[in-house]
Structure 1
Amino acid sequence: MTTEHEEVHAFTIRKEIEIAAPIEIAFDAVLDELGADAQMPDGKSLSMKIEPWPGGRWFRDLGNDAGHLWGHVQVIKPPTLLEITGPMPMSYPAVNHVQYRLKANGNGTLLTFSHRAMGLILPEHRDGMPEGWKNWLDQIRERAETKSR
């Protein structure tokens, strides 16, 4: 017998945002937001690090050799594509894939984001992810547009 928490679930989140900044600056803002500049909605640091090369880790560094592996860089083609695969913030059997695809659009950039996941995903993660990614993408836009000024 399985419970609702033991059933395999899947979800997909897709978002597009316009960024009023050149593609190179927008791509750097993605890396910044995935790394040391990542913040919780309350402004507290997430203590994230990203190694921006194929196979590089994306992880939360809590110090003293403690932390959480969120994923590995699967594809990186600056300044147009970054894909990461891994458990993300899920400490249970789940597989996630996030993709940041950037395309120059006049003087700005179109960022197309997708997050696909499957596994024993808790309802609070399924329900909270869309708002969490919206906040994350808003931070990327703000960071890129500020750097571009």
Structure 2
Amino acid sequence: MRTITPAPVRRSFSVKAPPQRAFDVFAAGMGRWWPPSHHIGEGELAQVIVEPRVDGRWYEKTSTGAECDWGRVLVWDPPRELVLAWQLSADWTYDPDLTTEVAVTFTPDGTGTRVDFEHRGLEAYGQRADEVANSVGSPGGWPAILQSFATLADS
């Protein structure tokens, strides 16, 4: 039996900010650009937090005060690279036994920064891998989320 592995979701684009600002907006400022509709906890999304260290948590806080893990920090190398473990199931719940990776690099590009984004390891979803790849790669998934980041980084 042949297994087909879904391609990673990739995006590359430039922002006007220098690498350190782009990295900071992406990591420390995630709660300012992450779409409020994209959360897993009860209530409304209040904050998105990336703890600034390897093995730090990546999680949300909701208006009810609940904290819901999304994953953890695998690589913390400001202002060059950030890799996050995405540990959300195909049903959008936290699953500590599932890991895909969200990898972002920030490269000086003239007066701004080239941002290379990749959500990889989607084969971890097994039979639902294509479904998840199509969802996170859809216009309402990473493309819209990254556009929100770019807009804030450019401001």
**Number of equivalent positions:** 139
Of 108-117 and 64-73, the range deviating more from structure 2: 64-73
1:110 to 84, 94, 114: 114
Which stretch of structure 1 is more off in the superposition, 75-84 or 10-19? Answer: 10-19
Distance 2:66 2:5 in 1: 29
Task: Look up the SS of the partner of 1:101 in the other structure.
Answer: strand
Q: Which residue number corresponds to residue 134 of structure 1?
A: 143
Q: SS where residue 150 of structure 2 aligns?
A: helix
Q: Which runs of 4+ in 1 moved over 4 A?
A: 7-11
Query: 2:16 matched to which residue of 1?
Result: 20
Q: Secondary structure at the match of 2:116?
A: strand
Out of 57-66 and 73-82, give the one that drifted further: 57-66
Superposed counterparts of 1:1-149, under 5 Å: 10-35=6-31, 37-40=33-36, 45=45, 47-62=47-62, 66-88=66-88, 90-91=92-93, 94-116=98-120, 117=122, 118-120=124-126, 121=128, 124-130=131-137, 131=139, 132-146=141-155
Q: Percent identity?
A: 23
- 2:87–2:99 CA contact under 8 A, matched in 1: yes
State the Cα distance separating 1:21 from its structure 2 match. 1.7
1:51–1:57 Cα contact (<8 Å) kept: yes
Whole-angstrom distance in 2 between the partners of 1:59 and 1:37:
15
> Given that residues 33 and 139 in structure 1 are in contact (C-alpha distance below 8 angstroms), is that contact kept between their aligned partners in structure 2?
no
> Could you list the runs of 5+ residues in structure 2 that have no partner in the other structure?
39-43
Residues 38 and 32 of structure 1: CA distance in aligned 2, closer, same or farther (over 3 Å): farther
User: What TM-score results when the alignment is normalised by the length of structure 2?
Assistant: 0.74
Please, what TM-score do these two structures have when normalized by structure 1?
A: 0.77
Is the partner of 2:52 in helix, strand or coil? coil
1:9, distance to aligned residue in structure 2 (A): 6.4
